[in-house]
Structure 1
């Protein structure tokens, strides 16, 4: 990518895959399709994304071809620090945008950094409530081409080869924070009463959380439900598993934003979720799913129960969830809204 044409830089100062990394990877191709000259900078990103080398920083003292300055779009503290250093100390021709997903009060240093941004984006109303500066709420969207309703036989749960007629799923990393244990406990109590249902858990378990997973397997075995509560680990394509579900459960105890309910709803699946992250802002209670207090296993179990008792309700809510997601949460809408913030910053003197 030519640094002289680049108008926006999306830095990624973390090599390990994260939600921020995923956001950058999904948004940049759409933003470029809209005609925005945006490039990434940093490790851990696909080679096919437009990318600037570290030496490009020396060109930030000069203006890009068609703008009076470049925008540095930070999503982490360390990226804000780098932007402030370049803009205010080195006097480079930059303006700074920060996206905040945090669902908590910021530490004093982070507040200091945020006050020095030219524009701030919050990924939900809840995250925006912790900001003490003017901001724009732009919720994450979902790629409706990648996550879509069932289209063929492989998308039917029967194609999985697992027992049961209906599937209930919980996807994501297997750990206490994600509430995987709350899901397992709910399934141990509910599934004996609903023999047509099978529970599926997918996601990576890192070494530090292996004992947590082992404990879940022990609980499942003691209940005699090894064939009906399955921990599959990482699967080659999570998208097909969303399409095979009748109900998706997101039981996180805490979350930054949390995309899995959107991915499920885009796949035409009803959702029961905790109120962690932005889940409560995605789900219409009693129409597309249900929301319960984070960490409350009893409330989670009782919110799931009506769907297991009446799969027809789950299917009705799935249809409404799909329409709501297509209308309000397409990834393109997120890209366009961010572009509008950029243009507001470019208009600043």
Structure 2
């Protein structure tokens, strides 16, 4: 089975990590994944393509000059027709819209994974409206959590087209991480609290800093680390200065050594105001770290309060501070939460189990002739071919 995975990427974040985990695991199951990455004219970003190539995954660049780029649509359609693509799987509103435009008259099934929807700006609200229109016409829409499934149903996607499949991570990779960040930040014997996220509004990084300021009055040697990039970074750096904690807060930028980053932390925090199913929580748990996270999206599904982590209400700085203080003061509590969290991820949220669920969905969508894959029978329909020159 050959799957075209489409994504428009602004960096290496949750959806990108999920896609790489999925593609790697599907290839181990005998499928072939081609990653079609939009090469956006105004905001080019090749991180996911570079990571995919390092993993040995086939990637193609889809040049996109702006909105409603017909050449990009033709390029996608040409690849579907000429490269034996059996199924198109899209990730994100741009991939959904262009993928639908390219494949709408072909017999190739269309499936979308909906990671999360945001409507923070007028332009994004318009894109979300167009995305919902396209998704109603897809063969299947996968929600990463029940909360996202509810949004899809409210958006007019037929309930019978919606499937919920939880994200998964490669537990072996994260559990084997060595603390590569520790020496860089001068950890020594000090405790480190970290947050891994895009540095944008709504992720709660400002709450993280305000809580850190309070925690430092009790644990003055603690270090706080923000891993990631985003439009709010300078604003957050100013806030750290205003709070007088700039010498205790480290902004690392984007990192490629995430298993090593998690291994360098004692406590992981995700104080988001809104989430779908955050991979960073699963990654931190897979790395055997104690986790504090907001009770949003699918987070309560991932964390059983006081059993596999601590849950706080979004925007509640006092609760975040208290949770940090409790974990910093109690090493045995940190260890217990971390061990139970890791065991639960290994049992329920592995990348392989996620990939097997997607493969089963692919097989349900594909009728007709059967093609034998390693470990699975893949049903492949005949594909109409037209004589088109391949583009971009």
Q: Give the TM-score range, shorter chain.
A: 0.7 to 0.9
- Mapped to 1, the partners of 2:181 and 2:333 lie a distance apart of 18
Equivalence for 1:162 = 187
Distance 1:204 1:7, change over 3 A: closer
Equivalence for 2:272 = 252
The correspondence of residues 203-282 of structure 1 with structure 2, limited to 5 A, is 203-206=227-230, 208-221=231-244, 225-235=245-255, 237-282=257-302
Q: Does 1:102 align with 2:122?
A: no
Structure 2 residue ranges without an equivalent (≥5): 39-45, 63-74, 120-124, 154-158, 369-380, 382-392
Per-residue CA deviation, residues 237-278 of structure 1 (Å, 9 max, x unaligned), is 332231132211111222343221111111111111112343
Q: Which moved more, 1:54-63 or 1:21-30?
A: 54-63
Distance 1:56 1:162, change over 3 A: closer
Equivalence for 2:37 = 42
Q: Does 1:7 align with 2:2?
A: yes
Q: Which moved more, 1:39-48 or 1:14-23?
A: 14-23
Say if 2:289 and 2:338, in contact at 8 Å, map to a contact too.
yes
- Mapped to 2, the partners of 1:159 and 1:108 lie a distance apart of 45
Equivalence for 2:41 = none
Equivalence for 1:136 = 163
- Mapped to 2, the partners of 1:232 and 1:109 lie a distance apart of 36
The Cα of 1:24 is off from its aligned counterpart by 2.5
Equivalence for 2:24 = 29
The Cα of 1:316 is off from its aligned counterpart by 1.1
Using CA pairs under 8 Å that are at least 6 residues apart, name the structure with larger relative contact order, 1 or 2: 2
Of residues 175, 178, 200, the one that matches 1:148 is 175
Equivalence for 1:3 = none
TM-score calculated relative to the size of structure 1: 0.82
Say if 2:327 and 2:333, in contact at 8 Å, map to a contact too.
yes
CA RMSD of aligned residues (A): 3.0
Say if 2:97 and 2:130, in contact at 8 Å, map to a contact too.
no
Say if 2:284 and 2:291, in contact at 8 Å, map to a contact too.
yes
The Cα of 1:342 is off from its aligned counterpart by 0.3
Q: Does 1:80 align with 2:104?
A: no
Say if 1:163 and 1:198, in contact at 8 Å, map to a contact too.
no
The Cα of 1:304 is off from its aligned counterpart by 2.5
Q: Which moved more, 1:161-170 or 1:26-35?
A: 161-170
- Mapped to 2, the partners of 1:194 and 1:14 lie a distance apart of 39
3-state DSSP of counterpart to 2:194: strand
- Mapped to 2, the partners of 1:218 and 1:241 lie a distance apart of 24
- Mapped to 2, the partners of 1:14 and 1:191 lie a distance apart of 36
Equivalence for 2:107 = 93
TM-score calculated relative to the size of structure 2: 0.74
Distance 1:158 1:97, change over 3 A: closer
Equivalence for 1:293 = 313
Of residues 206, 224, 239, the one that matches 1:200 is 224
The Cα of 1:143 is off from its aligned counterpart by 1.6
Q: Which moved more, 1:233-242 or 1:156-165?
A: 156-165
The correspondence of residues 45-84 of structure 1 with structure 2, limited to 5 A, is 45-46=49-50, 47=53, 48-51=56-59, 57-58=77-78, 60-61=80-81, 64=84, 70-84=86-100
The Cα of 1:74 is off from its aligned counterpart by 1.4
Of residues 155, 158, 181, the one that matches 2:206 is 181
Distance 1:244 1:211, change over 3 A: closer
Structure 1 residue ranges without an equivalent (≥5): 1-5
Aligned residues, how many?
A: 331
Q: Which moved more, 1:163-172 or 1:276-285?
A: 163-172
Per-residue CA deviation, residues 127-150 of structure 1 (Å, 9 max, x unaligned), is 112122232211111122321156
